[in-house]
Amino acid sequence: MTAEHTAAPHPPRQPAPHPPRQSAPHPPRQPAPGGPNGPYAMAPAPDMRPRAVAKRLLMPVAVLGSVAAAFAYVGSVDPNEPGHYPTCPLLALTGILCPGCGGLRSAHAFITGDFLTALGANAAAVVGFVVFAVGWVAWTVASARGRAWRLSPSSAQLWTIGAVLAVFSVVRNLPFGAWLAP
């Protein structure tokens, strides 16, 4: 007997049955260069239903409400009248104006529409009010569109802001910078 006669014959191969194909409503997405998290990856579309948009706007609206309440209080209780607010501890102990000195008077003047007085009380605070307003609008628009918005200044930008505030503090305490003092 030969090897051919001893081996059991193999049954013929039959193709496995495939489930019926369902047509996809959209063509499949092509992979993004660099993988699914690459630089050109497509983010899923945000949920634009009114309830989802309202949920995303909850934090920006809460922050605006808090800031508006604080400004309303400062606008109604004049910091120029003594006894309503505590004095600056640095000013009380040393007689040196800090970068925040005059900030409440500036906010009061700003909220009542006297912008020149607001600048005279604390110009840095007025710049801060405007920067906050621009940042809040950008945050709110990004939140409404379902995009993440994060304020992440570089260390060089933070050092620059600190240096500008330090120079502002020094200059407003010198005789020629008295126009920056409240």
pLDDT tens digits for range 58-77: 899 999 999 999 999 999 99
d(CA 172, CA 174): 6
d(CA 71, CA 73): 5
- Residue 83: pLDDT over 90: no
CA–centroid distance for 142 within its chain: 9
The larger pLDDT score, comparing residue 147 to residue 41, is at: 147
- Residue 24: pLDDT over 90: no
Nearest to 121, CA basis, from 71, 175, 69, 80: 80
What mean pLDDT, rounded, does the chain reach?
84
The larger pLDDT score, comparing residue 13 to residue 160, is at: 160
Can you give the C-alpha Rg of the chain in angstroms?
33
pLDDT at 182: 84
The percentage of residues in the chain with a pLDDT greater than 70, rounded to a whole number, is 76
Confidence bin at 27 (pLDDT 50/70/90): low
87-103, pLDDT tens digit by residue? 889 999 999 999 999 99
pLDDT at 180: 86
The larger pLDDT score, comparing residue 37 to residue 118, is at: 118
pLDDT at 15: 63
**Mean pLDDT score, 35-56:** 72
Torsion of CA 137, 142, 148, 149, to 10 degrees: -30
The percentage of residues in the chain with a pLDDT greater than 90, rounded to a whole number, is 52
Confidence bin at 28 (pLDDT 50/70/90): low
Contact 51, 150 (CB under 8 A): no
145-158, pLDDT tens digit by residue? 888 888 889 999 99
Contact 115, 105 (CB under 8 A): no
Torsion of CA 23, 26, 28, 32, to 10 degrees: 180
Q: Which tokens go with 92?
A: 């009380």
